[in-house]
Amino acid sequence: MDKLLIEGGQRLEGDVVVSGAKNAALPILCAALLTSEPVTLTNVPRLNDVDTMARLLAQMGVALDARTSGVVTLDARRIDWPLAPYELVKTMRASILALGPLLARCGEARVSLPGGCAIGLRPVDQHVKGLEAMGATIDLEHGYISAAGRLRGTTFVFDMVTVTGTENLLMAATLAEGTTTLENAAREPEVVDLARCLTAMGARIAGAGSDRITIEGVSRLHGATHAIMPDRIETGTFLAAVAAAGGDVAVRSAQADSLEAVMEKLREAGAEIDVSSDTSGKTIRVRRNGLLAAVNVRTAPHPGFPTDMQAQFMALAARAEGTAVITETIFENRMMHVQELKRLGADIEVEGSTAVVKGVAKLTGADVMATDLRASACLVIAGLVAEGQTTIDRIYHLDRGYERIEDKLSLLGARISRVA
């Protein structure tokens, strides 16, 4: 099992290029199930979760060509087996995103229930209720969701904002008979990116990015080429790392308008942030030379502060001047990184869903263990500012959502390496 070794205390300087977004790539890979024609995706990140989704689609009969770096062509003209088995679903909850497309295209689907999750329950009841409202017959037995039926347009109001639930019903509705309206829909940029891809495939969608999405069903979708959006959470992680460690870094190929809440909090903390345009898209330049101030954070659905940046900001707050109050409102168990930060010398007290972080004069290197994807990024940032060596174990969590992060940080001057 690989580990990361970090020698802290180095400022970060230079340029870094953001990879494609994991949370956009996974549903868009599933969208290829909706058509019998090839779908070509560019800017696809090389991540464990993407590999898992590719294996899942391949066992259904989808032909994949990924010979060119960052480019994947999917051909789903034959779907031999509309099944997502437990062996693959248990390693990646996003496998539930195959349910809607399989049902819409094949008239049937069988997907394993995802099971537990390290950061919370993440129920799939909204997926099931929405598909039932569209006319599907669904049975939950032996740990599987078995769905069948011809889908019809409907109006469905989500009981809670759910990104994957919105994406699943959005994909299913593209081939449903009639018009579907999704109320209280997720507004995340990844939902908008999925809608762009579906529109390129011939779907008729209005309102993506708002809490009301309308989909007019069509009889068939065709092939298309689509570029996956830049990863806003990877972008935010690099911005937070520079704010914590100090330095001057240009984060290129970014999507700045998806990170307004994060950039505003970093400015409050004392970082200088400028956004410019170039031939590769947006560039976000982040600098921090002065003191790092504590800032309060409360997570919320987009356009609020993203839950996927909460852990990284806690690492930043551990070395800031003053006290920060960090409140998690999305997942009920997303502070398992606190105990590992304490091993590095952080002063944090947790009560319920709120953490009170008192900045300390220094963090010191220690052996720590990653508990989930964003907790891994949190520990990397803490290791960059800690005195001495930090060893991070169980970094397979990190590889689920960050493409070669140790190589990218090394190019910025960090002393970081991967060891077996």
CA 310 to chain centre: 13
8 A C-beta contact, residue 383 and residue 8 = yes
Spatial neighbors of 124 by CB under 8 A, at least 6 apart, are 96, 113, 114, 145, 165
DSSP state letter for 288? E
C-alpha to C-alpha distance for 374 and 291, rounded to whole angstroms = 25
Radius of gyration of the CA atoms of the chain, in A: 21
Across the beta sheet with 389-393, the strand order is 367-369, 389-393, 3-7, 415-419
In 3D space, the residue among 40, 182, 154, 177 whose CA is nearest the CA of residue 107 turns out to be: 177
Residue 143: helix, strand or coil by DSSP?
Answer: coil
- Give, in order, the Cα–Cα distances in Å from 31 to each of 40, 75, 114, 314: 11, 11, 19, 35
Residue 283, strand partner residues: 276
Rounded CA separation 152/217 (Å): 9
Catalytic residue among 30, 117, 197, 378: 117
Three-class secondary structure of residue 103 per DSSP: helix
Token couple for 200: 């390129």
Q: Left if phi > 0, otherwise alpha if psi is -120 to 50, otherwise beta: which for 411?
A: alpha
The 10 Å Cβ neighbour count of residue 156 is 21
Please give the Cα distance from 169 to 104 (Å, whole number). Answer: 10
Cα separation, 309 vs 305, whole angstroms = 8
Active site residue 197: no
Active site positions, annotated: 117
